[in-house]
Structure 1
């Protein structure tokens, strides 16, 4: 995947119909729409993603966060695993057949370890200060560079991403970015996606 990636991560605050409505507008311009609904059960996530697909959003555009069985059953484009995922889960039979697997990491050693386990990419952050991590200092561009230089798989940068910050993140070696509130909470989500998309090109 040579072109720069744009991952859009659900914020856990929206109804399935709201997610589907925005996803219908933005999916042609993004690498992946992550369904990250931490308060919902496996069954709720399964039914919700099924609904989103029925609304015309390709399953290949969706990445499931945290539920390998859902990703496999619905043949989504990928699976995103949290940093707390136990060792070797990626090599588990549940994960065989999933198109693409990413893991959230918080440092270079963790990134190397996940690459060895078989991750297709890692998500690293938070790079900039963000409301979702209040009071936690950002890791910054220097640490991002260290992670990029420590692995041979794509590194997706997350945390405080604005279109104006995209270039500096790419200059640090990231293969792309992940955005949450900057898109779902925008007055014009499609316009917001196009602004990020343009910077990534």
Structure 2
């Protein structure tokens, strides 16, 4: 992956995800090479005429000294660097023999997935890392309906139950009220290792100490580039393919598509349905959450449609919600 290539040439690269509960095995690229010093998912180039799985087995044997017995496709990522374009073909390793190590002298280690920083990885690897870090559920605040005191109680219960990704969306609070609410919610979420995204101006989200911003479809349309650095989260609300493609173009980390089913919060909206959601998910590479009439039990159907998980509004703050989300963190 060194220089001397035109910007239009594309290199097909395979990478393997070796996971052990919440840990993943990563290696560091040698200094002096393309993206030198960055951490990456181990793998390498696919030779001409070589099947991706065969390339994966060969590369991981050469780099890590393991023999891959079973692997399944996980995701693909495309990125154009100034000197070359990369198609990253990522596989999840299900079974392998021997102990992985840096067989070629490269630095290698097991790391907690949640603690990895996208800025320390090549740009082509970052969407894969973000996908690994996303939980199955995305809870959207409902302060307007519940009131701040009851919502704070329900949020605490949800966090205790395992919710790890929350959006603060309260347009009725106004900038000052939203900032105060976001600051309190951010501190509470961080006590549990959860991430808070604020549906507001990106600067307000940062001032509140939140982990990122959730762009409304209106804000998304006005964006011409990613509004925050890679170590902060950027999500977007989308309703059609054009918006999804724009979210992908500005390098959003994930999108929320709605309404998938009929919902009381938008009674006049025509639901997309599972079939259309599946078509939209196939058309883009960024992770998608299904929103609209969703419950935790819909995670499996959403994943069958190609989504990463489900986003919840009123269902997220039911009194028994915490007990219904255990086992749905990944």
Q: Cα RMSD over matched residues?
A: 2.3
Contact 1:4-1:176 at 8 Å conserved across structures: yes
Contact 2:235-2:252 at 8 Å conserved across structures: yes
SS in 2 for 1:34: strand
Contact 2:278-2:305 at 8 Å conserved across structures: yes
Equivalent position of 1:7 in the other structure: 138
Equivalent position of 2:175 in the other structure: 42
Equivalent position of 1:67 in the other structure: 201
Contact 2:141-2:170 at 8 Å conserved across structures: yes
Equivalent position of 1:126 in the other structure: 259
CA distance in 2, matches of 1:50, 1:113: 29
How far the C-alpha of 1:137 sits from its partner, in A, is 1.8
Equivalent position of 1:79 in the other structure: 213
- Mind listing any 5+ residue stretches in structure 2 that lack a counterpart? 1-130
**CA offsets per residue over residues 83-123 of structure 1, 9 Å max, x none?**
1113326534xx34761111111112220121101211111
Asked which structure has the greater RCO (Cα within 8 Å, sep 6+), the reply is: 1
CA distance in 2, matches of 1:103, 1:15: 25
Relative distance call for 1:124 and 1:148 in structure 2 (3 A) is same
Is 1:180 the equivalent of 2:329?
Answer: no
Relative distance call for 1:53 and 1:16 in structure 2 (3 A) is farther
Contact 2:136-2:308 at 8 Å conserved across structures: yes
One of 16, 20, 31 as aligned partner of 2:152: 20
**CA offsets per residue over residues 127-170 of structure 1, 9 Å max, x none?**
11110111322101111112211111101110101234322111
Is 1:31 the equivalent of 2:133?
Answer: no
One of 87, 91, 97 as aligned partner of 2:226: 91
Relative distance call for 1:168 and 1:52 in structure 2 (3 A) is closer
Of structures 1 and 2, the larger Rg is shown by 2
Alignment of 1:153-192 (within 5 A): 153-184=286-317, 186-191=318-323
Relative distance call for 1:158 and 1:10 in structure 2 (3 A) is same
Equivalent position of 2:92 in the other structure: none
**CA offsets per residue over residues 6-48 of structure 1, 9 Å max, x none?**
1110122233332322222222512311111011111111111
More strand by share: 2
SS in 2 for 1:58: helix
CA distance in 2, matches of 1:89, 1:40: 27
CA distance in 1, matches of 2:231, 2:178: 17
Relative distance call for 1:22 and 1:110 in structure 2 (3 A) is same
CA distance in 2, matches of 1:190, 1:31: 11
How far the C-alpha of 1:61 sits from its partner, in A, is 2.3
CA distance in 2, matches of 1:53, 1:17: 16
Provide the aligned length of Structure 1 versus Structure 2. 194
Contact 1:42-1:67 at 8 Å conserved across structures: no
Give the TM-score normalised by structure 1: 0.85
SS in 2 for 1:156: strand
Relative distance call for 1:158 and 1:14 in structure 2 (3 A) is same
Equivalent position of 2:62 in the other structure: none
- Mind listing any 5+ residue stretches in structure 1 that lack a counterpart? none
